[in-house]
């Protein structure tokens, strides 16, 4: 049959890989959006706060960790309260509206993996859509190809957004800083009073190693 001939020629392998990537992207989306991003719990306060001074000796000792005015837990270093999630999140990066969840200490690495897989899917889909287009200056051509053309333009927009987000995230990770710390450096006490511009930076290689490993 035609299906068996296509399988023998390896023509079914690429669509199968593409479907698996799409499925992996969907599973990663639900995993990142539904998991605990690193909520600060009252029973964890004491142990976490003791460890902060050992890991980050550059932070001035006179900076006191404050108690959150919303959920009343003592915030560990680099934690922030998210008013949408109604929780303090450890190593808070940002609240992602696509995920309807915070990106924090626990799900940040998976968020990067999700963006990477999503980018591959979009690039692949964009290539397929572009390869199906043949341009002619006629109304009849536009009527027959409008759906494919709109699909390509939408894929192009989403690809640009995901690519910019992934590049910016990888840059911040390589500097061992978060989106919140980068945007609100002047408002954060442990950064504003630090002798170093970024007291958490330990070099690109070590920063990436500690984040992903």
Distances (CA, A) of 158 to 40, 96, 126, 132, 165: 33, 15, 10, 19, 11
Which is nearest to 195 in space by CA: 99, 62, 60, 34?
60
The one catalytic residue in 68, 71, 96, 175 is 96
3-state secondary structure 106-171: CCHHHHHHHHHHHHHHHHHHHHHHHHCCCCCCCHHHHHHHHHHHHHHHHHHHHHHHHHHHHHHHHH
Catalytic site includes residue 71: no
Helix H or strand E encompassing 81: strand 80-82
Task: Give the residue numbers marked as catalytic.
Answer: 96
């Amino acid at each position: 049959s035609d299906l068996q001939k296509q399988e023998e020629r390896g023509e079914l392998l690429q669509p199968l890989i593409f479907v698996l990537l799409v499925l992996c992207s969907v599973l990663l989306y639900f995993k990142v959006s539904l998991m605990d991003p690193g909520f600060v719990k009252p029973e964890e306060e004491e142990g976490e706060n003791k460890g902060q001074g050992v890991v980050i000796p550059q932070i001035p000792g006179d900076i006191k960790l404050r108690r959150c005015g919303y959920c009343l837990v003592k915030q560990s270093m680099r934690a922030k309260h998210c008013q949408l999630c109604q929780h303090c999140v450890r190593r808070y990066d940002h609240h992602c509206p696509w995920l309807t969840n915070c990106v924090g200490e626990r799900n940040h690495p998976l968020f990067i993996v999700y963006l990477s897989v999503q980018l591959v899917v979009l690039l692949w889909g964009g290539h397929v859509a572009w390869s199906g287009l043949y341009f002619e200056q006629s109304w009849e051509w536009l009527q027959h190809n409008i759906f494919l053309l709109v699909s390509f333009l939408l894929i192009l927009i989403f690809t640009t957004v995901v690519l910019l987000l992934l590049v910016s995230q990888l840059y911040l990770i390589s500097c061992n800083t978060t989106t919140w710390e980068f945007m609100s450096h002047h408002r954060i006490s442990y950064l504003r009073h630090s002798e170093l511009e970024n007291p958490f930076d330990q070099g690109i290689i070590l920063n990436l190693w500690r984040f992903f490993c």
